[in-house]
C-alpha cells in the first residue's frame, strides 16, 4: 500500500491541479481521465492493454469520463473499444500544444488526470536512439507538469536509459503522481537510478484487466477447425524475423535483416517448440492450435514451425492463418487446456480467464519477461535459451496430469493481480477526486 509520506506528496501534487483554469467545462461535470494507449494493431498485447485498463478504470473509477487518446489511427482497437466501451470517448491526433483548439490539447486542458498506459515505451537506447520517439512520450508529461495536471504511468517496464536520456527521464518522471511497474525488476531499476515519483510500486500490466470476448467468431473458429473446449493446447511463438511488408521497420525484436546468430536462435527455439508439440500430441492424443501473438507470425510461424512438424503430428495441429483481435482470441483461449507462449500477452489473456500457462521467453526480450514470476508463477517461467524441451515437456505434463491443481495455481496468481489492481486504482480514484 502507498506509504503515508508518498500519499502526502501525492495529495499535494493533486491539489495543485485544482488551480488550473479551463480544466472542467462546468462545475457539475464529471472528472476526466485521459488515457494514452493502443501502441499497435499488429500485436495482441498492444491491442489488449487498452480494453484491460479501460475495464479497470470503469470498474474502480465509475464516476469519471474516460477519454482514450490515439495519436495514430488504430482501427482494430477502436472497433473493439466502440463495441465494449460505449461511454469511452476517442480523441485522435498528434500532441500539438501550440494549437489550443485541437482535440488533443482541449482534452489535456480538461483532464483531471493523464495516464500513459502499459508497455515498454519509456526506454532509450534499447530499440533505437531516436529522440523524436522519446519526446513524443515525454512531451505530454512536460505539458502536464507545466499546467499542474497530475499524470501517471500504469504497468510499465523500464529496461534502459542510455546517457544522456537518463537525465530527462528522471527529471520528468520524478514529477509523476504514480508509476506502476509491471515487473519488479523494473521497480528495482528505477530505485537504483534514483527515480522518486510520488508513488512507485509494482502494478501489473493493464492487459490483466481484459474481459472482452467475441463468442460468435471464437466459437465458429473452434467448430470449423475441430477444436473441442478443454481438449487443445495453444502455442504462441516469437521469432527473430522482420515485420511483414507495411508493418513497420525492423528493431531489436523484429530485425529487418536477421544475423546468422539470430537465424540459428530461431532454429533452436522452433526445434524446442516442435518437440513440445510432438510430445503433447503423442502423449495426450489431444490437438494443438498454433496462434499468432503478432501479425508477422502468421507467416513465420508456418514456415519455421508448422511446416517442420512430423506428418502424424501435423494431422493434429491447427495453424491459424489470420491475425485476430483480442476479443476473438479471448473466446478461443477461454476454451484452451493450456497456453505455451514465447511472448507474454496471450498468456496474460489466458490467465485472466483462469487458464494455466507456460512462458518460455528469451531474457533479452526485456524485464517484462519477469511478470509471471512476480505474481507467483515462477515454476511456469523458463529461459528458452537455457531450458531443454524435456524440461518444458515435464512441466506441461505435470499441468495436464493434475489439471485441477494447475487451475487453482492460475486462480491464486490472479488473486495477486487483483489485489494490486485494486490498490493502484484506489490511488487513481483519489487523485481524480482531488484534482476535480
Residue labelled with grid coordinates 492493454: 49
pLDDT band of residue 16 (cuts 50, 70, 90) is very low
Strand partners, 214: none
Position 364 confidence tier, pLDDT thresholds 50, 70, 90: confident
Please say whether the beta carbons of 81 and 108 come within 8 A.
no
Would you say residue 162 has pLDDT above 60?
Answer: yes
Grid coordinates given for 57: 478504470
Q: How far apart are CA 11 and CA 13, in angstroms?
A: 5
Predicted confidence (pLDDT) at residue 383 exceeds the cutoff of 50: yes
User: What gap in Å lies between CA 184 and CA 40, rounded to an integer?
Assistant: 25
Band the pLDDT of 128: cuts 50, 70, 90: confident
35-67 pLDDT, tens digit each: 999 999 999 999 999 999 999 999 999 999 999
Provide the pLDDT for residue 435. Answer: 80
Beta strands (DSSP E) in 20-127 are 32-36, 65-70, 89-92, 113-116
- Does the N-terminal peptide bond of residue 328 adopt cis geometry, omega within 30 degrees of 0? no
Confidence of residue 7 (pLDDT cuts 50, 70, 90): very low
Q: Which three cell numbers stand for residue 18?
A: 485544482
- φ, ψ dihedrals at 2, nearest 5°: -65, 135
Q: How far apart are CA 166 and CA 231, in angstroms?
A: 49
Return the residue matching grid coordinates 508518498: 6
Q: Which of 353, 128, 150 is nearest to 234 (CA)?
A: 353
pLDDT tens string 252-262? 788 989 999 99
Average pLDDT over residues 150-167: 96
Which pLDDT score, from 0 to 100, does residue 21 have?
37
Q: Give residue 12's pLDDT band: very low, low, confident or very high (50, 70, 90).
A: very low
- H-only helix segments in 285-386: 297-304, 311-314, 326-333, 345-352
Q: State pTM to two decimals.
A: 0.93
Helix/strand/coil for 8: helix
User: Which residues on adjacent β-strands are paired with residue 151?
Assistant: 114
∠ CA 358-400-347, nearest 5°, is 25
For residue 238, the model assigns a pLDDT of 94
Residue pLDDT, tens place only, 188-199: 999 999 999 999
Residues of the chain with pLDDT > 70, as a percent, come to 93
**Which residue stretches of 258-402 are H helix?**
260-284, 297-304, 311-314, 326-333, 345-352, 389-401
- Cell 509471471 belongs to 372
Over residues 323-333, the mean pLDDT reads 98
Residue 112 grid cell:
483531471
Strand order across the beta sheet in which 65-70 lies: 89-92, 65-70, 32-36, 113-116, 151-156, 178-181, 200-202
Domains and CATH numbers, the chain: 4-210+416-435 (3.40.50.2000), 215-401 (3.40.50.2000)
* Cell 530485425 belongs to residue: 255
pLDDT at 248: 57
Quick check: 356 pLDDT over 90?
yes
pLDDT score of 220: 98
pLDDT at 187 over 90: yes
Task: Give the rounded distance of the alpha carbon of 213 from its chain centre.
Answer: 17
Mean pLDDT of 218-229: 98
The mean predicted confidence, pLDDT, of the chain is: 93
Cα–Cα distance for residue pair 304/387, rounded to 1 Å: 20
When mean pLDDT is compared across 14-23, 50-59, 100-109, the lowest value belongs to: 14-23
End-to-end Cα separation, the chain, in angstroms: 23
pLDDT at 19 over 50: no
User: Which stretch of 12-26, 34-48, 319-333 has the lowest confidence by average pLDDT?
Assistant: 12-26
162's CB contacts (< 8 A; 6+ apart) are 124, 125, 129
Q: What is the pLDDT of residue 246?
A: 56
**Residues 6 and 198: beta-carbon distance below 8 Å:** yes
Residues 6+ away with beta carbon under 8 Å from 314: 306
Rounded to the nearest 5 degrees, what angle is found at the Cα of 334, between the Cα atoms of 330 and 336?
115
Amino acid at each position: 500500500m502507498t506509504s503515508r509520506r508518498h500519499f502526502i506528496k501525492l495529495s499535494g501534487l493533486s491539489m495543485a491541479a485544482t488551480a488550473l483554469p479551463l480544466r472542467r467545462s462546468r462545475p457539475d461535470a464529471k472528472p476526466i481521465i485521459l488515457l494514452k494507449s493502443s501502441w499497435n494493431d499488429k500485436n495482441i498485447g498492444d491491442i489488449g492493454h487498452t480494453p484491460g485498463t479501460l475495464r479497470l478504470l470503469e470498474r474502480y473509477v465509475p464516476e469519471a469520463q474516460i477519454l482514450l487518446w490515439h495519436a495514430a489511427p488504430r482501427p482494430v482497437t477502436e472497433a473493439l473499444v466502440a463495441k465494449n466501451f460505449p461511454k469511452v470517448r476517442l480523441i485522435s491526433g498528434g500532441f500539438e500544444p501550440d494549437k489550443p483548439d485541437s482535440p488533443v490539447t482541449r482534452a489535456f486542458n480538461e483532464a483531471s488526470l493523464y495516464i500513459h498506459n502499459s508497455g515498454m515505451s519509456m526506454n532509450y537506447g534499447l530499440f533505437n536512439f531516436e529522440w523524436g520517439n522519446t519526446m513524443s512520450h515525454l512531451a505530454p508529461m512536460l505539458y502536464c507538469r507545466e499546467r499542474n495536471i497530475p499524470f501517471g504511468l500504469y504497468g510499465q517496464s523500464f529496461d534502459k536509459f542510455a546517457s544522456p536520456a537518463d537525465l530527462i527521464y528522471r527529471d520528468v518522471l520524478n514529477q509523476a503522481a504514480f508509476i506502476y511497474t509491471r515487473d519488479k525488476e523494473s521497480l528495482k531499476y528505477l530505485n537504483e537510478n534514483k527515480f522518486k515519483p510520488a508513488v512507485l510500486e509494482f502494478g501489473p500490466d493493464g492487459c490483466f484487466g481484459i474481459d472482452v470476448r467475441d463468442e460468435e467468431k471464437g466459437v465458429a473458429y473452434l467448430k470449423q477447425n475441430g477444436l473441442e473446449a478443454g481438449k487443445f493446447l495453444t502455442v504462441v511463438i516469437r521469432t527473430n524475423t522482420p515485420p511483414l511488408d507495411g508493418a513497420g521497420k525492423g528493431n531489436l525484436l523484429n530485425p529487418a535483416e536477421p544475423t546468422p546468430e539470430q537465424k540459428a536462435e530461431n532454429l533452436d527455439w522452433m526445434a524446442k517448440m516442435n518437440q513440445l508439440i510432438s510430445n503433447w500430441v503423442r502423449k495426450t492424443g489431444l490437438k494443438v492450435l498454433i496462434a499468432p501473438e503478432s501479425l508477422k507470425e502468421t507467416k513465420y510461424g508456418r514456415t519455421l514451425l508448422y511446416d517442420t512438424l512430423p506428418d502424424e503430428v501435423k494431422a493434429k495441429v491447427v495453424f491459424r492463418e489470420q491475425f485476430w483481435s483480442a476479443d476473438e482470441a479471448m473466446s478461443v483461449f477461454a476454451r484452451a487446456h493450456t497456453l505455451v507462449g514465447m511472448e507474454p500477452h496471450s498468456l496474460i489473456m489466458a490467465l485472466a480467464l483462469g487458464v494455466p500457462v507456460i512462458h518460455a521467453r528469451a531474457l533479452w526480450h526485456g524485464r517484462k519477461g519477469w511478470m509471471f514470476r512476480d505474481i507467483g508463477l515462477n515454476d511456469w517461467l523458463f529461459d528458452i535459451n537455457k531450458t531443454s524441451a524435456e524440461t518444458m515437456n515435464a512441466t506441461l505434463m505435470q499441468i495436464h496430469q493434475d489439471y485441477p491443481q494447475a487451475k487453482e495455481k492460475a486462480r491464486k496468481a490472479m488473486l495477486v493481480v487483483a489485489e494490486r489492481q485494486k490498490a493502484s486504482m484506489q490511488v487513481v480514484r483519489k487523485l481524480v477526486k482531488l484534482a476535480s
